[in-house]
Amino acid sequence: MTEVLVFHHGHGLTAGVREFAEQLRRAGHTVHAPDLYEGQVFDNLEEGTGYAENAGFDTITARGTAAAEGLPAELVYVGFSLGVLPAQKLAQTRPGAKGALLLEACVPISEFGGAWPQDVPVQIHGMDTDPFFAGEGDVDAARALVGTAADAELFLYPGDRHLFADSSLPSYDEQAAQQVNDRVLGFLDRVK
């Protein structure tokens, strides 16, 4: 099937992110889920993003890039929120990428070189009134990416929750998360 590299969000490598990775494995995919926080998991998102700020977002992104070393080039990169930084960077800049799944975040494509590779399909998922995704410009970056990429989809779900796809967090939205999972699995089956 497909080989996938999953990057966690600002809470760290939570049980919900590990469960997401396990769902992909049960569907027959090879999944890697590195810990960019060196064993730290935070109950509070502010503490987790504080850790990332102290370490440096460039450091977190570099840890993600390092996690791809030694893996095949033909990967699908998945990022949850903060994890979109290394996922999007690798999808845009590492030759051989098979696709990208950007969950609850998207940065302007100019951040990593200014162009989305035309042979790399991408899906972006977020809630339409999430204060981070919709309120901080990520949805605008997502729309711009969809407007320039040859194979790109943006899925907006009704609601204001951030990290709604992580089953271990209070922000989890089971119905929206199931739609994400179904679409992610469909995407992975399509790009294999």
pLDDT digits (tens, 9 = 90+) for 63-87: 999 999 999 999 999 999 999 999 9
Directed axis angle between helix 174-191 and helix 15-26, to 10°? 40
pLDDT of residue 114 exceeding 80, the answer is no
pTM for the full predicted model: 0.96
Q: What is the CA radius of gyration of the chain?
A: 15
Q: Report the alpha-carbon distance of residue 97 to residue 107 in Å, rounded.
A: 18
How many angstroms separate the Cα of 52 from the Cα of each of 49, 56, 91, 152, 172?
Answer: 5, 6, 21, 29, 22
Tell me the average pLDDT across 41-49. Answer: 95
pLDDT band of 192, cuts 50, 70, 90: confident
DSSP-based three-state secondary structure for 188: helix
Q: Are the C-beta atoms of residues 165 and 103 closer than 8 Å to each other?
A: yes
pLDDT band of 1, cuts 50, 70, 90: confident
Q: Report the alpha-carbon distance of residue 143 to residue 71 in Å, rounded.
A: 30
Q: Which domains does the chain have, with CATH numbers?
A: 3-191 (3.40.50.1820)
How many angstroms separate the Cα of 179 from the Cα of each of 96, 123, 151, 185?
Answer: 28, 13, 19, 10
The sign of the torsion formed by the CA atoms of 170, 3, 63, 84 equals negative
pLDDT, one tens digit per residue, over 6-37 is 999 999 999 999 999 999 999 999 999 999 99
Across the chain, mean pLDDT equals: 96
Closest CA to 84 of 60, 68, 48, 66: 60
